């Protein structure tokens, strides 16, 4: 059935990537985004292993590489700025701590949006207020007042997904706080930062600076432990206050970086949390990316999971002739082991930063960790959906790898 109508909530990474593939396989796609504009900001995200292959199949390798940060690697430093350790982009064949394809989250979102905006309907500044599904479709009322019917509705609306809450239950049931908070924002590069990221760590807290394409700017990064987290994720002023309090007295360049907290054009702070669910679909409603299975920034793979998940979800739904039960089931079976490996890595990283933990920390040099890492980067098969191209609205021949 071509012309299947799909509504996606969220236009960050997972949403536009899914829109790309659904459109290619012949669906009519609408994306509703709560923010009035495409959201800028966030720190650099990496494309490793299978994710790179998905980007290539999307035909976006060139656009993504053109928008990359060009970081050379990272140095950890002491309080006086002396280099302690160095990680290069060339480590582990480009799939290391700083990967070969590293792009600011906002820039990747822009590439994905630009790629789909002419073929997909985007509705900014609105959100789903009400959904009711029956055997044949889903009735949706948007907060702006419009009412429409879709065949499928997909939540790509992130860690705090409202669609997940509406269709599956309250967030407390699925969101697991890993005991840390991360913050990122843009600052002027008054620190002489070149192509190397800098990070200073002390007793579970860290501060860092990341170079970006525009050499006059840098992205500040902070992390601190927090047993609980009750700051509203939409209340930026409260988040800034929390960051000031928790990084008070921290060494290195921290006071100078914090001095820019009120003149930054963007600010992102959130708990390091995972989403763990038994199922990512209910009838005609499905979840993707952080909304379904956030692995948290501590995995370094949230973007990969969103891009790979978008490829598989669209491919499996289209392969199933848009039958939700069959399509959602196949997508979930293929994705789960890959997601679980990434969630496990994030939990280990969170534990290694926990200064109150007893016993030895995880051994990141061990063979079992290397094996886990391999599953987290490459542990998912990407079927060749080339035959679906006949139904698609764009020519998919160049997109599907041999």
Number of residues that bind ligand FAD (CB under 6 A): 32
C-alpha–C-alpha distance, residues 246 and 394, integer Å: 50
- Chain residues 27-56 in contact with ligand FAD, contact rule CB under 6 A: 32-35, 39, 41-43, 45
Q: Which is nearer to ligand FAD, 28 or 270 (CB)?
A: 270
Minimum separation from the CB atom of position 32 to ligand FAD (A): 5
Nearest to 51 by CA among 386, 263, 299: 299
The residues near 199 (Cβ < 8 Å, ≥ 6 apart) are: 74, 75, 76, 77, 206, 207, 208, 221
- Hey, which residues does 294 pair with through a beta bridge? none
Q: Which is nearer to ligand FAD, 10 or 94 (CB)?
A: 10
Does residue 208 belong to the site contacting ligand FAD (CB under 6 A)? Answer: no
Write out the H or E segment, with its range, that includes residue 116: helix 105-116
Q: Which is nearer to ligand FAD, 133 or 296 (CB)?
A: 296
C-alpha–C-alpha distance, residues 229 and 289, integer Å: 22
The correct pick among 12, 69, 116, 223 for binding ligand FAD (CB under 6 A) is: 12
The correct pick among 46, 95, 107, 157 for binding ligand FAD (CB under 6 A) is: 157
Nearest to 163 by CA among 131, 126, 121: 131
Does residue 10 belong to the site contacting ligand FAD (CB under 6 A)? Answer: yes
For ligand FAD, what does the binding mask look like between residues 245 and 274, x meaning CB under 6 A? -----------------------x------
C-alpha–C-alpha distance, residues 182 and 244, integer Å: 13
Q: Which stretch binds ligand FAD (CB under 6 A): 191-199, 241-249, 299-307, 349-357?
A: 299-307
Q: Is the dihedral of CA 167, 173, 176, 177 positive or negative?
A: positive
Q: Is 282 helix (H, G, I), strand (E, B) or coil?
A: strand
Inter-residue contact 252 to 226 (CB < 8 Å): no
Q: Which is nearer to ligand FAD, 290 or 316 (CB)?
A: 290
* 125: alpha, beta or left? (left if phi > 0; alpha if psi -120 to 50): left
Does residue 375 belong to the site contacting ligand FAD (CB under 6 A)? Answer: no
What is the number of residues in the chain? 402
Minimum separation from the CB atom of position 156 to ligand FAD (A): 5
The correct pick among 20, 105, 205, 334 for binding ligand FAD (CB under 6 A) is: 105
Minimum separation from the CB atom of position 149 to ligand FAD (A): 18
Residue nearest to ligand FAD (CB): 289
Q: Which stretch binds ligand FAD (CB under 6 A): 19-27, 152-160, 166-174, 249-257?
A: 152-160
Nearest to 234 by CA among 22, 34, 44, 397: 34
The correct pick among 100, 102, 290, 316 for binding ligand FAD (CB under 6 A) is: 290
């Amino acid at each position: 059935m071509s012309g299947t109508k799909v509504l996606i909530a969220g236009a960050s990474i997972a949403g536009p990537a899914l829109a790309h593939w659904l459109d290619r396989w012949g669906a009519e796609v609408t994306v509703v985004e709560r923010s009035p504009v495409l959201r800028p900001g966030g720190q650099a995200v990496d494309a490793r292993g299978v994710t790179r292959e998905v980007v290539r199949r999307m035909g976006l390798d060139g656009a993504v590489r053109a928008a990359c940060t060009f970081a050379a690697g990272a140095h950890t430093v002491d309080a006086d700025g002396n280099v302690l350790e160095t990680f290069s982009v060339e480590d582990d064949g480009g799939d290391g701590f700083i990967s070969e394809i590293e792009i600011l989250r906002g820039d990747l979102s822009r590439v994905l949006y630009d790629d789909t905006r002419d073929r997909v309907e985007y509705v900014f500044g609105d959100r789903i207020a009400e959904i009711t599904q029956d055997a044949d479709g889903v009735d949706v009322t948007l907060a702006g007042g419009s009412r429409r019917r879709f065949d499928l509705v997909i939540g790509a609306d992130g860690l705090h997904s409202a669609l997940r809450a509406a269709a599956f239950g309250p967030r407390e049931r699925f969101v697991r706080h890993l005991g840390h908070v991360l913050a990122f924002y843009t600052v002027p590069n008054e620190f002489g930062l070149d192509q190397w990221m800098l990070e200073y760590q002390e007793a579970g807290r860290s501060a860092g600076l990341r170079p970006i394409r525009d050499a006059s700017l840098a992205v500040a990064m902070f992390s601190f432990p927090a047993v609980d987290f009750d700051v509203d994720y939409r209340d930026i002023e409260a988040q800034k206050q929390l960051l000031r309090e928790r990084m008070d007295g921290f060494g290195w360049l921290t006071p100078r970086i914090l001095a820019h907290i009120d003149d930054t054009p963007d600010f992102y702070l959130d708990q390091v949390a995972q989403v763990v669910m038994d199922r990512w679909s209910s009838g005609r409603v499905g979840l993707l990316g952080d909304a379904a299975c956030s692995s948290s920034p501590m995995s370094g793979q949230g973007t990969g999971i969103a891009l790979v998940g978008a490829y598989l979800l669209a491919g499996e739904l289209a392969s199933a002739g848009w039958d939700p039960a069959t399509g959602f089931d196949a997508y979930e079976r293929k994705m789960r082991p890959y997601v679980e490996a990434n969630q496990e890595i994030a939990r280990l990283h969170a534990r290694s930063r926990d200064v109150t933990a007893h016993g030895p920390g995880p051994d990141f040099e061990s063979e079992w960790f290397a094996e886990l890492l391999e599953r987290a980067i490459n542990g998912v098969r990407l079927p060749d959906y080339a035959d679906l191209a006949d139904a698609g609205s764009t020519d998919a021949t160049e997109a599907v790898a041999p």
